[in-house]
Amino acid sequence: MPRSGREPALLAGVVAAALSFPSAPLDAAGVVGDGTPGSCTEAAFTAALAGGGTVTFACGASPVVIPVTSTKTLTAASTTIDGGNLVTLDGGSAVRVLSTSYQTSLTVRNLTIRNGRTTDYGAGIRCAFQPPGTAALTVENVVFQDNRCTQAGADVGGGAIYVLGGVAVVRDSTFTGNQGGNGGAIGYLGSSNQSPPNGLAVERCSFTGNSTLPKAGGNGGHGGAIYVDGSGGGLIAITDSTFASNGSTGLGGAIHTWFYGVPSGMTIARTTFRDNATQDNGGAIFHMNGSLSITQSTFDSNTTVGQGGALWMSDGGGGTPATVTNSTFTGNSATGVRPNDGSKGLGGAIVQNGGTLVLASVTIAYNHADWVGGGIVGGSTSATTLRGSIVANNTADNGGNPWNIQKNCSSTLGDGGGNVQWPTLNPFDGNDRRCALGVVFVEPLLGPLGANGGPTETMALQPLSPVLDSVPGGCPAGFPATDQRGVARPQGAACDPGAYERVAAPMRLHTLSPCRIVDTRGAEGPALSPGPDRTFEAAGRCGVPASAGAVAVNVTAVDAGAAGNLRFYPAGTSVPLTSTLNFRAGQTRANNTILSVGSLGRFSVKTDLPPSTVHLVVDVVGWLETPPE
């Protein structure tokens, strides 16, 4: 479990700076084998490692598996093991594969390490304690599969890798099915702040199906893929990676971080978290006591039995706010009852439990909480800023009570401008909350999560979304210059809210023979009245396909009982302020117009007139689509 300490942190260059410290000169190189598969034995591997330096393999052109029956402990100042993409080191589900000694540096590349076993730390690789800021471990293009630490509880784990201090870099590698007491794939103990700093960089890696053991005595089980206990004043820097289907019994389904103050912290960029799960807080990430920056990342369908379906965070660190920018949260959930304190699901996407947080140009949609805050729980007008963001169509069950409140946010956050929320508040309960004071209530018409270009999946604003170009002031200070995909902002007269900036594309008109889709004098009756708005189907009628974003129509008001007007809008969105058709009593009045039907293929009509009725006739003459950007 994390040790005592406090403060949080920064600077992406810290890890790289730490890696720049000179290492000891290389010793003589070793070669395993004489060119034949049979020559690549465990004994030959052991002999090649003895002198340190660069160890390569001459085993022929086909892949080979070298059984490791006893842990290889490296004592030379620096060792590099290069498998040439043909070598597997197999621990036989019996022993740890590799271990380093104090003041040694290890590089492994182009091989597979599998079936390592140990009780405590690092079944694949265990790096012994290293002095602050020294290069402890570099991993490049390595597959870690089914490495397991069998002891549960606090301060153990790192199924594939465990690093005790120093600087570690992991690139272009895959972690599948590893397990530990904490940190199913990687455990990192960087300790409290030091000089020079420690740190861990993870670049272009995938973590799939890694997990923790059950808690022991209420301890452990944190970080399904990565567990961090301090970063020694450096950063945990994760870029261009994927975390999928990892799980923990404690905190952080994919990542658990616990820092000890500035300048320690974590940065995450261009990374996807999908289907991770925890039995405690933080379905994807649990973050504590350090700086935090998340950019261009997607959180999809992560779950928690507790709080924070995607992200649970506290304390941005030393007055430095945590920031989440150009990122998407969708399909995440906080459900059930937390085992240790009985609390119900809070914060389907995000829980802020302290510190300060800026959410800028994020899309938070279709997340769920069993209690409140399907989108966001926590925060305040002073501790949290929501800027240029969409918080829409999140749900909350209110613990089974019929309150119908706080589905998007549990509290009102500081308003950075340009925010959108949907649906509207419950007018019958004053305990419902705006996500920000100046938020605009409108259905944003988001498309499904998908590959829309860029490093991570996004939810595209649809061509006729009412929030396009809607940020007041264009793109004021504080708005990012690009969207989650890297597309420049703005593409129109102003920025679009959320993580996706739509590139304008011309509409295509497909003409149809005139065909009547609405006539309230017949099957679509009764006549319109000032009561509830009426909704009519367009898609699937008169040749209008489900893919249509709008229809070209002639709308006619017939036999109006009083002067009034009709306002048309896509079903499920907010009512516009301007009318489409005005009429006088007894008048038959027509108008040609384009009606948006949104993603539902329907349009709604609001009738403005004194107590009376008016019949509506709608003839379609074409439909419109927008080509892909």
Confidence band for 22, pLDDT divided at 50, 70 and 90: very low
Looking at residue 453, what is its pLDDT?
A: 95
Looking at residue 596, what is its pLDDT?
A: 86
- What is the distance, to the nearest Å, from the Cα of residue 545 to the centroid of all Cα atoms in its chain? 33
Per-residue HEC secondary structure of 548-586 comes to CCEEEEEEEEECCCCCEEEEEEECCCCCCCCCCEEECCC
For residues 598 and 25, the model is more confident at 598
- What does the block give as tokens for 536? 């009519």
Contact 198, 190 (CB under 8 A): yes
Sign of CA dihedral 122, 127, 133, 139: negative
Note the pLDDT tens digit of each residue in 122-140: 999 999 989 999 999 999 9
Looking at residue 477, what is its pLDDT?
A: 86
Query: How many C-beta atoms lie closer than 10 Å to residue 590's C-beta?
Result: 14
Q: Measured between alpha carbons, how far is 82 from 140 in angstroms, rounded to an integer?
A: 9
Whether 549 shows a pLDDT value over 80: the answer reads: yes
- What is the distance, to the nearest Å, from the Cα of residue 312 to the centroid of all Cα atoms in its chain? 12
Question: Can the peptide bond before residue 545 be classed as cis, meaning omega within 30 degrees of 0?
Answer: no
For residues 33 and 569, the model is more confident at 33
Note the pLDDT tens digit of each residue in 167-189: 999 999 999 999 999 999 999 99
211 DSSP β-pair partners: 179, 247
Looking at residue 341, what is its pLDDT?
A: 63
Confidence band for 507, pLDDT divided at 50, 70 and 90: confident
Instruction: Report the run of H or E that residue 99 belongs to, with start and end.
Output: strand 98-100
For residues 580 and 261, the model is more confident at 580
Whether 9 shows a pLDDT value over 70: the answer reads: no
Whether 340 shows a pLDDT value over 80: the answer reads: no
For residues 259 and 8, the model is more confident at 259
How far apart, in Å, are the Cα atoms of 110 and each of 86, 518, 610?
A: 8, 66, 77
Confidence band for 24, pLDDT divided at 50, 70 and 90: very low
Looking at residue 339, what is its pLDDT?
A: 66
Coil/strand/helix, residue 324? strand
Give the helix ranges, DSSP H, for 308-377. none
Average pLDDT over residues 363-383: 94
Note the pLDDT tens digit of each residue in 33-78: 999 999 999 999 999 999 899 999 999 999 999 999 999 999 999 9
pLDDT averaged over the chain? 91
Confidence band for 191, pLDDT divided at 50, 70 and 90: confident
Count of alpha carbons within 13 angstroms of residue 421, beta-carbon side: 27
Looking at residue 195, what is its pLDDT?
A: 87
Looking at residue 626, what is its pLDDT?
A: 65
Q: Measured between alpha carbons, how far is 501 from 505 in angstroms, rounded to an integer?
A: 12
Share of the chain above pLDDT 90, in %: 79
Contact 159, 125 (CB under 8 A): no
Q: With the CA atoms of 277, 282, 288 and 292 taken in that order, what torsion angle do they form, in degrees rounded to the nearest 10?
A: 90
Looking at residue 410, what is its pLDDT?
A: 96
Whether 14 shows a pLDDT value over 60: the answer reads: no
**Which has the closest alpha carbon to 125: 174, 82, 91, 166?**
91
Looking at residue 26, what is its pLDDT?
A: 37
Whether 573 shows a pLDDT value over 80: the answer reads: no
Whether 371 shows a pLDDT value over 80: the answer reads: yes
Confidence band for 28, pLDDT divided at 50, 70 and 90: very low
Note the pLDDT tens digit of each residue in 236-253: 999 999 999 999 999 999
Find the distance separating the first CA and the last CA of the chain, reported in whole Å: 49
Looking at residue 73, what is its pLDDT?
A: 97
Looking at residue 235, what is its pLDDT?
A: 96
Strands of the sheet containing 581-583, edge to edge, are 534-537, 602-608, 564-570, 581-583
Looking at residue 343, what is its pLDDT?
A: 66
Looking at residue 125, what is its pLDDT?
A: 98
- What does the block give as tokens for 101? 């000694």
Note the pLDDT tens digit of each residue in 78-122: 999 999 999 999 999 999 999 999 999 999 999 999 999 999 999
Q: Measured between alpha carbons, how far is 310 from 347 in angstroms, rounded to an integer?
A: 9
Q: Measured between alpha carbons, how far is 191 from 199 in angstroms, rounded to an integer?
A: 10
**Which has the closest alpha carbon to 142: 200, 53, 70, 202?**
202
Looking at residue 232, what is its pLDDT?
A: 93
Looking at residue 153, what is its pLDDT?
A: 86
Whether 342 shows a pLDDT value over 90: the answer reads: no
Note the pLDDT tens digit of each residue in 449-501: 999 999 999 999 987 788 999 999 999 888 999 999 999 999 999 999 999 99
